[in-house]
């Protein structure tokens, strides 16, 4: 180890003229809050290397290629290093003019004040993206800078189809933050802690966490646990690497998760394999659930979902009779119209097996966060009458989303309809005029029907975005862009699972200065003080802010955190027995009935059925007429991740792009032969909503009836100007996705299921 | 003392951290490599899926001799997400292979 450096910061050491800055990663560049531990090596003020921090309790020195290639992001030739403005009529043209931060803030202030005075602040809305550091701060921008109710966590996304559906279901059914695999993540000695028990099975449902490490879960913890004896069950239309290493792989038809879930429950209940004690004491509505799942025999499940009955029965028996076992659910459960029912089934399986909050089972905590209350307070600053102007569907749809969401915002389908003028004749309608994009590149990722969003957003008077690179969305639509600092260039805090099941807080420390750029939090504070000094008057410095909030919530301050890098939370099992899950301190769960709700009055109150049921996806080989199915004979799924990119990010990073240079459509070799497609051919995928073209990859990862299409592709090396916009519409899986085929709650959209055809073509432009 | 690289490829998930780590450590371009990960499968053998990733070092790999001399772990070994790479002295190889006998193991001396 090196000596402490001259600057005497406890997180910096020096070795042979190189400063080693200890830090925890988040974003930018894009990532979820796993908070991987690392030393950023700095020489002469420049990052020369990144090395893992072996003392980090979770990652233990391990890093994925994205952090290892961090220097290529920070010093990339295309990095945005100055605010830039452009005339509205030049949208789509590379006609940017560099301006100073003061000029950018002045312009922004002038625009916001103009819209507020002339049209009312509600004509401004914010959009955000997934899982980045900005998710902590973006919800505050709308209310606390601009006094608009159309901010919060609003995504340019049909059915809020990422995390929100699961988080909301967990709120009501379990009264807790999101459930997570017990990987001994709360214990300093991890798997050696005597309180931890190795799970016998890990069920991985609609998720490939080895390459995505979602929400704060370090995916390769699964490998750690496998080495200690755990076996795997996967529920996935794709055979993933984990699937190939599973005891059971339930290869379902995309979008039929609820049917598989009910079949799984039916095996457990009809064969009497559930935890009677837990069900009797801590679950509500077992009889109603049993009745609901009874028709779902393995044969019926197979008919609907294609899952082999032997695999279904074997997996259900193995999972239920091998205590403790654990399970994790992925974004696939959000990305179908039936997200609510799929999530209900998943939670019910975990609950009736008695695996909630036990060693080696599923961890849960109260949803808390170091800035949770602050964020709530700052969002609660709308002036009188503004909250009532929040955009909701004027026909009365999506009441659960609009009044009971875990992550409130404007429902994405409602927003596109509103932008397109569908509600013009309603008395509530008013035109939107300005948008602020915070951590989102919707034309490349998220937006269903991206060309419709593009056309609808073009009508806005003013659009501002902040990012580290020029994106197709900024080039196509924005009038002002603010350059962000990377996580190596600013101070921050990492909060795994966004505080909703948080095993530690990590210190993100500035490794190199970049005075041309600012963080999402700095921009928020700067603009907040300009626009609404009455509510930002108490805010001193970011350091003080972190220090105060940490002390309020955890009893330690920023200095202690920086010295230790990571401070873990403690964990207590079986909190439902001790009153630690409820606000009133009584035993049980923080739900309406005080129990895990297998039958939900809340869902019933929000126009949903109280117990799970199955409904065919709107666009499936079963629900569509034969002539349509003949035209679109295959089923598609989308969105499987490669480790080299975080959604639409990292495409311009040489070392990472070299690992995965092209967008790939995955096709079974037998299917490919039928269509005359060879490995590496360009293949156009068509649905009734649009097309996209990617390169064929022939593999048994998918069955003969299914293809997998990659998402979030654009090509920074191509012409950025409109209409090409870095090729963002060419290989874009979201072209295939219908608008507003969502659940009655407003949650869940079929990003991962639909019907398609495939055709060999000559180039990506065909 | 001669060293060898042992890879417990039962657990290699193809994350390619070794590929990028090595390129950074050795200053290699994107057309060059010190480690490359080969994918084998998925195919069924005897009704069961076989799907392996096997990282293979090139001659640019010196098992991070300089780092080891400084008491540091080779960078691929440190960053490997599945913790399936070990650099060990040659005389320990047979013992390590025996320890990992139930797994799928290979040994390289690049």
Integer Cα distance of A62 and A760 in angstroms: 41
For A735, other C-beta atoms within 10 Å of its C-beta total 22
Check pLDDT > 90 for residue A403.
Answer: no
- Closest alpha carbon within chain A to B100: A227
Report CA A16 to chain centroid distance, whole Å: 41
Distance, CA of A698 to CA of A150 (rounded, Å): 45
Q: How far apart are CA B41 and CA A219, in angstroms?
A: 22
Picking from A63, A226, A699, the nearest residue to B17 by CB comes out as: A63
Residue A243 DSSP class: H
With beta carbons less than 8 A apart as the criterion, state whether A749 and A335 touch: yes
Contact A62 B83 (CB under 8 A): yes
Instruction: Give the A:B interface size as CB pairs under 8 Å.
Output: 90
How is domain A626-761 classified at the CATH fold level?
Barwin-like endoglucanases (2.40.40)
Coil vs helix vs strand at A492: strand
List Cα–Cα distances, A77 to A28, A86, A307, A383, B43, in angstroms: 16, 21, 49, 44, 42
- On whether the CB atoms of residues A711 and A647 are closer than 8 A, the answer is yes
Give burial (CB, 10 Å; 0-12/13-18/19+) of A425.
Answer: exposed
Does position A325 have pLDDT exceeding 80, yes or no?
yes
Average pLDDT over residues A222-236: 98
Burial class of residue B80 (count of CB atoms within 10 Å of its CB; 0-12, 13-18, 19+): buried
Would you kindly state where each structural domain of chain A is located, as residue ranges? 85-160+371-487+516-538, 175-364+578-605, 626-761
Distance CA(A121)–CA(A113), nearest Å, equals 8
List beta partners, residue B40: B52
Average confidence score pLDDT of chain A: 96
CA distances in angstroms from A332 to A205, A312, A465, listed in the order given: 8, 19, 29
Q: Mind listing the domains of chain B with CATH numbers?
A: 3-108 (3.30.70.20)
> For residue A152, what pLDDT is reported?
79
3-state helix, strand, coil in chain B (%, to 5): 25, 35, 40
> Are A223 and B15 an interchain contact pair (Cβ–Cβ within 8 Å)?
no
Q: For residue A661, give Cα distances in angstroms to A396, A657, A695.
A: 45, 5, 10
Residues from chain B that touch A227, judged by Cβ atoms under 8 A, are 11
Beta-ladder partners of A567: A505
- For A146-159, the pLDDT digits (tens) are 999 998 788 999 99
User: What is the C-alpha to C-alpha distance for residues A211 and A218, in angstroms, rounded to an integer?
Assistant: 9
Buried b (16+ CB within 10 A) or exposed e, B45-75: eeeebebbbbbbbeebbbbbeebbeeeebbb
For domain A85-160+371-487+516-538, give the CATH number: 3.40.50.740
Nearest Cβ partner for B15 among A64, A226, A699: A64
> Measuring CA to CA, how many Å separate A542 from each of A217, A523, A525, B42?
27, 11, 9, 50
Question: What CA–CA distance (Å, rounded) separates A163 from A172?
Answer: 14
Chain A residues with beta carbon closer than 8 angstroms to that of B20: 65, 68-69, 655-656, 659
Distance between terminal CA atoms of chain B? Answer: 15
Statement: residue A2 has pLDDT above 50: no
CB nearest B78 (choices: A61, A71, A241): A61
How far apart CA A661 and CA A469 sit, in angstroms, is 19
- pLDDT for A330 equals 97
> Residue A3 — very low, low, confident or very high, per pLDDT cuts 50/70/90?
very low
Expressed in angstroms, the distance from the first to the final Cα of chain A is: 57
Phi, psi of A492 (to 5 degrees): -165, 180
CB A610 within 8 A of CB A604: yes
CA-only gyration radius of chain A, Å? 25
* B77 → chain A, closest CA residue: A62
| CB-CB contact of A263 with A301 (8 Å) | yes
Instruction: Write b or e for each residue in A46-65: b if 16 or more Cβ atoms lie within 10 A of its Cβ, otherwise e.
Output: ebebbbbbeebbbbbbbbbb
Query: Which residues of A sit within 8 Å Cβ distance of B?
Result: 49-52, 54, 60-65, 68-69, 71, 210-211, 219-220, 223-224, 226-227, 239, 241, 243-245, 249, 643-644, 654-656, 658-659, 699-701
Q: How many CB atoms lie within 10 A of CB B16?
A: 25
What is the ipTM score, two decimals? 0.98
Question: Given a cut of 50, is residue A4 above it in pLDDT?
Answer: no
Answer for the pair A698, A667: CB distance below 8 angstroms, yes or no.
Answer: yes
Within 8 A by CB and 6+ apart from A658, the residues are B30
* Phi and psi, residue A346, nearest 5°: -60, -50
Quote the CA–CA distance of A608 and A602 in Å, as a whole number: 9
Query: In Å, what is the CA distance from A201 to each residue of A167, A228, A321, A325, B84?
Result: 24, 11, 10, 5, 21
| Residues of chain B neighbouring A700 (CB-CB closer than 8 A) | 42-44
Residues linked to residue B87 through DSSP beta bridges, in sequence order? B5
Query: What backbone torsions phi and psi does residue A13 show, to the nearest 5 degrees?
Result: -120, 165
Q: Are B7 and B108 in contact (CB under 8 A)?
A: yes
The answer to whether B19 contacts A65, with C-beta atoms less than 8 Å apart, is yes
Gap from B36 CA to chain A (nearest CA, Å): 10
Residues A615 and A624: beta-carbon distance below 8 Å: no
Question: Is A355 within 8 Å of A347 (Cβ atoms)?
Answer: no
Chain B, nearest residue to A37 by Cα: B79
- CB–CB contact B24 A65 (8 Å): no
Q: What is the pTM of this model?
A: 0.97
What distance lies between CA A762 and its chain's CA centroid?
34
* Cis status, amide bond into A211, omega within 30 of 0: no
Distance CA A166, CA A149 (A): 24
Q: Which residues of A touch B30 (CB under 8 A)?
A: 654-655, 658
pLDDT in tens, A7-24: 579 999 999 999 999 999
Q: What is the CATH code of the structural domain delimited by A175-364+578-605? A: 3.40.228.10
H-run or E-run covering A693: strand A690-698
Give the Cα separation of A718 and A319 in Å (integer). Answer: 49
Q: What is the pLDDT of residues B65-85, one digit of tens each?
A: 999 999 999 999 999 999 999
Is the CB of B49 less than 8 angstroms away from the CB of A239? yes
DSSP string, B54-67: EEEE-TT--TTHHH
Q: Which residue among B13, B16, B43 places its CB closest to the CB of A241?
A: B13
> CB–CB of A487/A551 below 8 Å?
no
Q: Which of A139, A745, A32 is nearest to A405 (CA)?
A: A745
Q: Which of B24, B53, B83 sits opposite A68 (nearest CB)?
A: B24
Chain B positions in Cβ-Cβ contact with residue A223 (cut-off 8 Å): 11, 13, 81-83
With beta carbons under 8 A apart, name residues in chain A contacting B80.
Answer: 62
What is each CA distance from B38 to A244, A689, A761, in whole angstroms?
Answer: 16, 38, 29
Distance CA A695, CA A680 (A): 5
Q: What is the DSSP annotation of A513-546? A: --TT-B-HHHHHHHHHHHH-HHHHTT---HHHHH
How far apart, in Å, are the Cα atoms of A726 and each of A94, A656, A713, A716? 12, 18, 10, 6
Look at the alpha carbons of A436, A154, A756, A397 in this order and tell me if their dihedral is positive or negative: negative
- Nearest chain A CA: its distance from B2 CA (Å): 25
Q: Which among A52, A224, A239 has CB closest to B79?
A: A52
Task: Please tell me the predicted confidence (pLDDT) of residue A407.
Answer: 61
Contact B16/A at CB under 8 A: yes
- Interchain contact B83–A (C-beta under 8 A): yes
What was the pLDDT predicted at A292?
98
**Rg (alpha carbons) of chain B, rounded to whole number:** 14
- Say which DSSP state A762 is in: S
Backbone torsions φ then ψ of A15, nearest 5 degrees: -145, 120
Grade residue A371 by pLDDT with cuts at 50, 70 and 90: confident
Tell how far CA A522 is from the center of its chain. Answer: 23
CB–CB of A466/A520 below 8 Å?
A: yes
Q: Which candidate, A35, A640, A152, A59, places its Cα nearest to that of A436? A: A152
pLDDT tens digits, A440-498: 999 999 999 999 999 999 999 999 999 999 999 999 999 999 999 999 999 999 999 99
Q: pLDDT tens-digit profile of A107-131?
A: 999 999 999 999 999 999 999 999 9
DSSP H helices, A142-256, are: 164-173, 209-212, 221-227, 241-244
Chain A residue numbers with beta carbons less than 8 Å from the beta carbon of B82 are 220, 223
Q: Is the pLDDT of residue A677 over 50?
A: yes
Q: What is the pLDDT of residues A498-507, one digit of tens each?
A: 989 999 999 9
Say how far apart CA A536 and CA A524 lie, in whole Å.
10
Peptide bond into B42 cis (omega under 30): yes
Q: In this predicted model, what pLDDT tens digit does every residue of A700-726 receive, in sequence order?
A: 999 999 999 999 999 999 999 999 999
Q: What is the pLDDT of residue A406?
A: 61
Q: How many beta carbons lie within 10 A of that of residue A429, not counting itself?
A: 13
Residue A131 CA, chain-centre distance (Å), reads 5
pLDDT digits (tens, 9 = 90+) for B5-45: 999 999 999 999 999 999 999 999 989 999 999 999 999 99
């Amino acid at each position: 180890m090196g000596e402490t450096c001259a600057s005497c910061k406890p997180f910096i050491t020096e070795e042979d003229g190189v400063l080693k800055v200890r830090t925890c990663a988040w974003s930018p560049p894009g990532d979820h809050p796993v908070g991987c531990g690392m030393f950023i090596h700095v020489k002469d003020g420049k990052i020369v290397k990144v090395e893992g921090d072996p003392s980090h309790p979770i990652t233990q020195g391990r890093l994925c290629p994205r952090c290892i290639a961090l220097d290529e992001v920070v010093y990339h030739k295309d990095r945005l290093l100055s605010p830039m403005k452009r005339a509205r009529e030049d949208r789509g043209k590379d006609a940017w003019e560099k301006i100073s931060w003061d000029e950018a803030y002045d312009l922004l202030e002038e625009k916001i004040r103009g819209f507020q005075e002339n049209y009312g602040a509600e004509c401004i809305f914010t959009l955000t993206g997934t899982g980045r550091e900005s998710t902590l701060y973006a919800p505050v921008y709308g209310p606390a800078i601009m006094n608009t109710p159309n901010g919060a966590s609003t995504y340019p996304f049909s059915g809020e189809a990422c995390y929100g559906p699961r988080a909301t279901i967990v709120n009501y059914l379990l009264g807790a933050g999101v459930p997570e695999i017990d990987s001994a993540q709360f214990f300093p000695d991890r798997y050696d802690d005597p309180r931890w028990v190795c799970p016998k099975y890990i069920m991985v449902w609609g998720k490939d966490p080895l390459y995505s490490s979602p929400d704060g879960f370090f995916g390769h913890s699964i490998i750690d646990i496998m080495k200690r004896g755990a076996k795997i069950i996967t529920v996935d239309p794709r055979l993933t690497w984990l699937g190939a290493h599973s005891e059971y792989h339930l290869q379902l038809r995309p979008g039929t998760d609820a049917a598989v879930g009910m079949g799984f429950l039916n095996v457990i209940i009809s064969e009497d394999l559930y935890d009677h004690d837990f069900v009797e004491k801590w679950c509500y509505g077992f009889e109603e659930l049993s009745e609901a799942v009874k028709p779902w025999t393995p044969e019926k499940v197979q008919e609907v979902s294609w899952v082999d009955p032997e695999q279904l029965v074997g997996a259900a028996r193995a999972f239920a009779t091998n205590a403790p076992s654990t399970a994790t659910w992925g974004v696939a459960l959000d990305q179908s119209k039936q997200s609510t029912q799929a999530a209900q089934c998943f939670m019910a399986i975990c609950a009736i097996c008695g695996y909630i909050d036990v060693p080696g089972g599923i961890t849960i905590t109260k949803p808390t966060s170091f800035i949770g209350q602050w964020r709530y307070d700052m969002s609660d600053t709308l002036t009188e009458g503004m909250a009532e102007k929040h955009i909701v569907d004027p026909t009365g749809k999506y009441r659960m989303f609009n009044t009971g969401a875990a992550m409130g915002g404007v429902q994405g389908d409602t927003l596109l309809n509103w932008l397109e003028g569908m509600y013009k004749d309603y008395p509530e309608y008013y035109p939107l005029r300005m948008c602020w994009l915070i951590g989102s590149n919707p034309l490349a990722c998220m937006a269903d029907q991206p060309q419709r969003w593009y056309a609808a957003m073009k009508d806005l008077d003013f659009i501002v975005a902040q990012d580290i690179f020029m994106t197709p969305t900024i080039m196509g639509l924005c009038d002002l862009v603010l350059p962000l600092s990377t996580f190596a260039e600013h101070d921050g805090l990492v909060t795994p699972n966004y505080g909703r099941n948080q095993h530690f807080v990590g210190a993100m420390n500035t490794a190199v200065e970049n005075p041309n750029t600012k963080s999402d939090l700095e921009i928020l504070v700067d603009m907040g003080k300009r626009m609404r000094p009455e509510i930002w008057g108490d805010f001193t410095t970011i350091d003080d802010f972190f220090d105060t909030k940490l002390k309020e919530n955890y009893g330690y301050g920023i200095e202690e955190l920086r010295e230790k890098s990571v401070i873990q939370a403690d964990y207590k099992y079986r909190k439902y027995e001790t009153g630690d899950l409820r606000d009133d301190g009584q035993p049980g769960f923080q739900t309406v009935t005080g129990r895990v709700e297998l039958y939900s009055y809340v869902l019933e109150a929000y126009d949903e059925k109280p117990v799970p049921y199955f409904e065919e996806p709107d666009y499936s080989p079963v629900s569509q007429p034969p002539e349509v199915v003949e035209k679109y004979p295959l089923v598609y799924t989308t969105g499987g991740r490669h480790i080299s990119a975080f959604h639409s990010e990292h495409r311009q990073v040489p070392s990472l792009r070299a690992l995965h240079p092209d967008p790939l459509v995955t096709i079974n070799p037998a299917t490919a032969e039928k269509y005359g497609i060879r490995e590496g051919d360009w293949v156009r995928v068509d649905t009734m909503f649009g097309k996209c073209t990617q390169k064929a990859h022939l593999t048994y990862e998918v069955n003969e009836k299914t293809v997998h299409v990659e998402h979030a592709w654009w090509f920074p090396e191509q012409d950025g100007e409109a209409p090409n916009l870095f090729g963002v519409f060419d290989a874009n899986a979201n072209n295939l996705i219908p608008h507003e085929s969502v659940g009655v709650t407003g949650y869940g959209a079929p990003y991962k299921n639909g019907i398609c055809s495939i055709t060999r073509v000559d180039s990506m432009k065909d | 003392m001669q060293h060898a690289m042992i890879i417990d490829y039962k657990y290699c998930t193809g994350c390619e951290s070794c590929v990028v780590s090595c390129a950074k450590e050795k200053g290699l371009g994107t057309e060059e490599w010190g480690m490359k990960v080969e994918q084998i499968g998925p195919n069924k053998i005897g009704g069961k899926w076989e799907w392996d990733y096997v990282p293979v070092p090139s001659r640019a790999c010196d098992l991070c001799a300089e780092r080891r001399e400084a008491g540091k772990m080779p960078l691929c070994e440190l960053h490997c997400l599945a913790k399936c790479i070990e650099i060990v002295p040659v005389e320990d190889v047979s013992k390590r292979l025996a320890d990992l006998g139930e797994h799928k193991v290979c040994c390289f001396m690049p």
